Amino acid sequence: MLRRLSADDPRFRRLDFAPGLNLLVADTTELSGEQDSRNGTGKSSMVELLHFLLGARADKKSLPARKALRNIAFSLELDWSATHRGRLSVTRTGARPETVRLSQDVEAEGRTYRDSLFDIDIANPVDIPAARWTKLIEEGIFGLRGEHPGLSGRTMLSFLIRRVSSHAFNTPTRTYGQQSEADAATNLAYLLGLDWKLAAGYREISAREATRRQLRQAVNDPVWGRIVGSTSELRGQITLAEEEVRRLEEQIKAFRVVPQYEELKRRADEIDHSIRALNSQDAIDRRNLSDLRAAVRDTTDGDVRYLEPVYRELGILLGGQVRRRFDDVKGFHESIVRNRRRYLAEEIETLEARLADRATEREGLGAELQRVLRTLDEGGALEALTALQQALAQKQASMEALRHRYEAAQTLEASSLEIKAKRVSLQRALTDDLDERVRQTGEATVLFSEFAQRLYGPGRQAYLEFDAGPSSLRIVPHVDSDDSRGIGNMVIFCFDLTVAVVAHRHGRGPDFLVHDSHLFDGVDDRQLRDALELAAEVVEREGMQYIATLNSDDLEKAERKGYADTHRVLPVRLTDAYEDGGIFGFRF
């Protein structure tokens, strides 16, 4: 049970709660003007503070984070069986909402967080992260242990302490407007003793459908469509990427770092340059050799024997002296030819010798180059190994990116029939489970019907509908009545009371239920009276606590219809007096 709501600011109107029914009433004063409103007295603020102290997320817009309140340390004392005296106090500020202070260590591990935030004298206090406090609430209040995807202590508290700011009074089976049916139904299933894991299965289907819709929209976009791709294209790209990764891995595995790698590499370059230079010189000498051999072929003796017959025919007889001169010239010419042939032969021999020498040198250089290249081929420098490893990392990253794209394409191309088949299978399993849990659904339905008929009379048909719907477990409260706002609010009242009682009976929820005065807006006087009397009877019978905020004129309407339990009203009565009538004791 909740025992006390307080603050370290002396102006705060401390609230002490008792077992059973607790009514926090907001009065008007004789001095109230048209600009004063009981909406500013703090009835809804009490609900917001309870959520804040029970682990709700707080941002800059939340009530305790407002400038006038952020440095005030608010505290809630509540029953906690794991403590020495069965009580626990939790303190939190809007200035440091990420941390809460517990009056004592209640963690199973016995860990203590020693970074104290609050300068208050509490025996053996501990400061813990707010996230850890929400986990302790799930364990200590709702009996949740280990992993429980789909269940949230905060969500279940929002059914038991509805918030006007979240529009929680719009429908019985949701705690805020944008809450998914599957999320709400999963948490309600746990509180009512149904198979919450089956109910949570709808969340997975909804997530797959949402992903498929988003990917379908992306594929319709000309740019994103090319980024995602198709499974057939990506499958081939993945195969090639895997082969490239395998090849690089083998190269790295077989890689051997060669000492003096750079020196060997420079030597290989020098040998290659030398061989290229020898080849160039050979080319020049072979052209010269070819020219020399052609010159040898063209070098012949001069033939002058034709001259004498010619002169004779012309009637000219050559004398002996002239004949001797011809012989001298012929001999000289033959000497020149012999000398040229000898010179050409020597040049040819020199060139052939140079070519032979270069061939021998080239053969030696080639053998040395082969040895150096073999050594380089068998290993490499450390830098080369690093480069290979970097290339492998890039290829692996590219391959993983392709796989993610492939998974996205698979999700996109998955047939809607597959999702539909899974939904049908889940519906069938949930239907079978509901058939097997007749006791649990019957207990909740009987309670809801009992509560509704107390408010509307035995002639009204009231029941809870449990159905395995296509998108979630459907839990629908029905009351045979009109659709007025007051009727709808009383359906929420009966539903919340049913959930709270069932959860408490079976150790799946706390022993308290809190309602804001907005729940009673538009409710008939008699039904308001009956609701307060019913709440008092039920929580007395079940050993529970019901806390409600109420406007004084609504209480007066109930009293005119015979409501007499005015002792249930808390001593602190809020007013709309300008300065100190509200729960905080000052206006801001």
Q: Are 494 and 452 in contact (CB under 8 A)?
A: yes
Most confident of 109-118, 160-169, 230-239: 160-169
Q: Which of 195-199, 274-278, 314-318, 332-336 has the lowest mean pLDDT?
A: 314-318
Q: Average pLDDT of 149-173?
A: 94
**Tens digits of per-residue pLDDT, 339-353?**
888 888 888 889 889
Res. 555 pLDDT band, cuts 50 70 90: very high
Whole-number Å distance between alpha carbons of 330 and 342: 18
Most confident of 97-101, 290-294, 398-402: 97-101
Residue 578 sits at the vertex; the CA angle it makes with 574 and 582, to the nearest 5 degrees, is: 25
pLDDT for res 1: 95
Q: How far is CA 419 from the centre of its chain?
A: 23
Q: Which of 36-45, 217-226, 395-404 has the lowest mean pLDDT?
A: 217-226
Q: Is pLDDT above 90 for 63?
A: yes
Q: Are 128 and 102 in contact (CB under 8 A)?
A: yes
Q: Is pLDDT above 90 for 194?
A: yes
Tokens of 523: 């409710």
Res. 33 pLDDT band, cuts 50 70 90: very low
| Neighbour tally for 68: CB within 10 Å | 12
Residue that the structure tokens 């077989």 belong to: 254
Domain boundaries, the chain: 2-216+420-575, 261-378
Q: Is pLDDT above 80 for 146?
A: yes
- Of the candidates 522, 494, 520, 497, the one whose C-alpha atom is nearest the C-alpha of residue 509 is 497
136-162 burial: b if 16+ Cβ within 10 Å, else e = bbbbbbbebeeebebbbbbbbbbbbbb
Res. 256 pLDDT band, cuts 50 70 90: low
* Mean pLDDT for the chain overall: 84
Helices 153-160, 181-191: inter-axial angle, 10-degree rounding: 80
Whole-number Å distance between alpha carbons of 427 and 468: 5
Q: How far is CA 171 from the centre of its chain?
A: 31
First to last CA, the chain: 31
Q: Which of 76-85, 311-320, 392-401 has the lowest mean pLDDT?
A: 311-320
pLDDT for res 412: 65
Query: Phi and psi (nearest 5°) for 397?
Result: -65, -40
DSSP 337: H
Q: Which residue has the higher pLDDT, 116 or 480?
A: 480
Most confident of 106-110, 143-147, 365-369: 143-147
pLDDT for res 392: 82
**Bridge partners, 127 (sequence order):** 101
pLDDT for res 42: 76
pLDDT for res 36: 40
Most confident of 54-68, 220-234, 269-283: 54-68
Q: Which of 223-227, 317-321, 470-474 has the lowest mean pLDDT?
A: 223-227
Residue that the structure tokens 């000497």 belong to: 335
DSSP 43: H
pLDDT for res 482: 56
pLDDT for res 123: 54
DSSP secondary structure, 56-89, as one string? ----TTSGGGSTTTTT-EEEEEEE-TTSSSSEEE
Tokens of 144: 């949740």
Q: Which of 74-88, 201-215, 374-388, 429-443 has the lowest mean pLDDT?
A: 374-388
Tokens of 448: 């809801």
Res. 255 pLDDT band, cuts 50 70 90: low
Q: Which residue has the higher pLDDT, 588 or 556?
A: 556
Whole-number Å distance between alpha carbons of 500 and 330: 142
Query: Phi and psi (nearest 5°) for 270?
Result: -65, -45
Residue that the structure tokens 């307080």 belong to: 6
Q: How many residues does the chain have?
A: 588
- Of the candidates 272, 301, 233, 239, the one whose C-alpha atom is nearest the C-alpha of residue 372 is 272
Q: Is pLDDT above 80 for 303?
A: no
Q: Average pLDDT of 515-544?
A: 94
pLDDT for res 113: 42
pLDDT for res 252: 72
Q: Average pLDDT of 164-168?
A: 91
Whole-number Å distance between alpha carbons of 43 and 40: 8
Q: Are 302 and 333 in contact (CB under 8 A)?
A: yes
Q: Which fold has domain 2-216+420-575?
A: Rossmann fold (3.40.50)
Q: Is pLDDT above 90 for 53?
A: yes
Strand pairing class (73-79; 2-7): antiparallel
574: left (phi over 0), alpha (psi -120 to 50) or beta: beta
DSSP secondary structure, 364-380, as one string? HHHHHHHHHHHHHHH-B
Q: Is pLDDT above 60 for 259?
A: no
Res. 334 pLDDT band, cuts 50 70 90: confident
- How big, in percent rounded to 5, are the helix, strand and coil portions of the chain? 55, 10, 30
Residue 371 sits at the vertex; the CA angle it makes with 367 and 374, to the nearest 5 degrees, is: 135
pLDDT for res 60: 87
Q: Is pLDDT above 60 for 385?
A: no
Q: Is pLDDT above 60 for 35?
A: no
What beta strand segments (E) does 106-197 contain?
Answer: 126-129
Q: Are 299 and 344 in contact (CB under 8 A)?
A: yes
Q: How far is CA 146 from CA 136, 504, 507, in A?
A: 12, 21, 17
Q: Report yes or no on whether pTM surpasses 0.85.
A: no
pLDDT for res 549: 95
Q: Which of 197-201, 367-371, 538-542 has the lowest mean pLDDT?
A: 367-371
Long-range contacts of 67-71 (CB under 8 A, 24+ apart): 67/588, 68/586, 68/588, 69/94, 69/584, 69/588, 70/94, 70/95, 71/95
